[in-house]
């Protein structure tokens, strides 16, 4: 880790740092590095490409670059990699360039960033700066969403299965079925400036701005600068009732009819335990309770396609 951070020091004013996640699927990361080297050369830009080993090293290198006065740090990977760089750059004047190299790429899609690597690289270097919100929980930033309950438990199980040799999608399917079969519930109290809610819940979902729950834009956001957290608290209802509620939310119910969802700027989540698994942009951390959420409006500078581009 120290060797990589040392390489990020001493960047010249005209050099941009590009960070790719080299911790997992290193062969794919090396292939992306080779492709990007050719693309950046064709664009005539001086970009240093590094492959730090994981999220902690990615964040440390991005923070070092921001502290040195870098104008731009480019992150290549899935939303977890983008999250690591966002944690370093939020609240600074250093802009974030996004290369969507993950599976879902929610953040890039909601910002209209091209999914094609060459076009995304050009956007990162030649696009325009847009200020967007980030969410925060106990001091950690998230760009898409955070949750407790079913989802982080499913991620933990998926990771354990992958360590045993399961493929990514096989592990996901097995973990999902097992988590739903056990259908664990937790007792929470949600405190906001507007309300207090107590319930036994399957899932508390906190979005960085409001999510769509109806087709065809399910799981998308219309804006990332509304200065709000979007809370979706799913009371324990049993597997079949929960599945039916999810079906109605995705395919039938208009937004105004979706129960248990509201917006706020701050949220406190109290539980009857000292710590809890918390998912943030697909990664899971163990955090002490209570969980203190807040919106940080326009805290992150992101490079997006220039108006009329594409």
**pLDDT tens digits, 39-52:** 999 999 999 999 99
Residues 292/192, Cβ–Cβ less than 8 Å: no
Q: Is the peptide bond before 216 cis (omega within 30 degrees of 0)?
A: yes
Question: What pLDDT, in 10s, does the model give residues 60-108?
Answer: 999 999 999 999 999 999 999 999 999 999 999 999 999 999 888 999 9
d(CA 177, CA 225): 35
**CA gyration radius for the chain?**
20
Looking at residue 24, its pLDDT comes to: 59
What is the pTM (predicted TM-score) of this model? 0.85
Which residue, 11, 12, 30, is CA-closest to 21? 30
Q: How far apart are CA 113 and CA 99, in angstroms?
A: 8
Of 54, 57, 48, 47, nearest to 2 (Cα)? Answer: 57
Strands 72-77, 16-20: pairing kind: parallel
- Predicted local distance difference test score (pLDDT) of residue 6: 53
Spans of the chain, pLDDT less than 50:
246-257
Q: What is the pLDDT of residue 131?
A: 98
Q: Is 214 exposed, middle or buried (0-12, 13-18, 19+ CB in 10 A)?
A: middle
pLDDT score for 109: 94
- CB-based contact 84:57 (threshold 8 Å): no
Phi, psi dihedral angles at 116 (to 5 degrees): -70, 130
Domains and CATH numbers, the chain: 2-126 (3.40.50.10330), 145-298 (2.60.200.40)
For the residues of 246-297, what is the DSSP string, one character each?
A: HHHHHHT--GGG-TTEEEESEEEEEESSSEEEEEETTEEEEEESSEEEEEEE
């Amino acid at each position: 880790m120290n060797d990589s951070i040392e390489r990020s020091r001493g960047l010249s004013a005209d050099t941009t740092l590009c960070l790719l996640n080299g911790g997992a699927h290193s062969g794919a990361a090396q292939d992306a590095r080779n492709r990007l080297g050719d693309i950046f050369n064709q664009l005539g830009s001086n970009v240093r490409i590094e492959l730090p080993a994981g999220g902690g090293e990615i964040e440390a290198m991005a923070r070092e670059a921001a502290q040195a006065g870098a104008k731009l740090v480019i992150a290549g990977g899935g939303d977890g990699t983008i999250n690591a760089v966002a944690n370093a750059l939020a609240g600074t004047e250093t802009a974030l360039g996004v290369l969507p190299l993950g599976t879902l790429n929610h953040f890039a899609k909601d910002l209209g960033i091209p999914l094609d690597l060459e076009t995304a690289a050009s956007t990162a270097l030649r696009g325009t700066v847009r200020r967007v919100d980030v969410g925060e929980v106990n001091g950690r930033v998230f760009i898409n969403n955070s949750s407790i309950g079913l989802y982080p438990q499913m991620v933990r199980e998926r990771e354990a299965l992958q360590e045993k040799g399961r493929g990514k999608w096989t592990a996901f399917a097995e973990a999902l079925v097992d988590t739903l079969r056990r259908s664990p519930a937790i007792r929470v109290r949600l405190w906001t400036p507007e309300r207090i809610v107590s319930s036994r819940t399957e899932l508390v979902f906190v979005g960085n701005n409001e999510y769509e729950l109806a087709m065809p834009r399910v799981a998308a956001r219309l804006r990332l600068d509304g200065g709000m957290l979007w809370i979706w608290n799913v009371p324990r209802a049993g597997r079949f009732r929960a599945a039916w509620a999810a079906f109605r939310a995705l395919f039938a119910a208009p937004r105004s009819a979706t129960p248990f969802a509201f917006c706020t700027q701050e949220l406190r989540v109290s539980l009857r335990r000292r710590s809890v698994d918390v998912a943030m942009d697909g990664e899971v951390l163990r955090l002490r309770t209570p969980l203190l959420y807040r919106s940080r409006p326009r805290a992150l500078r992101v490079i997006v396609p220039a108006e009329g581009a594409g």
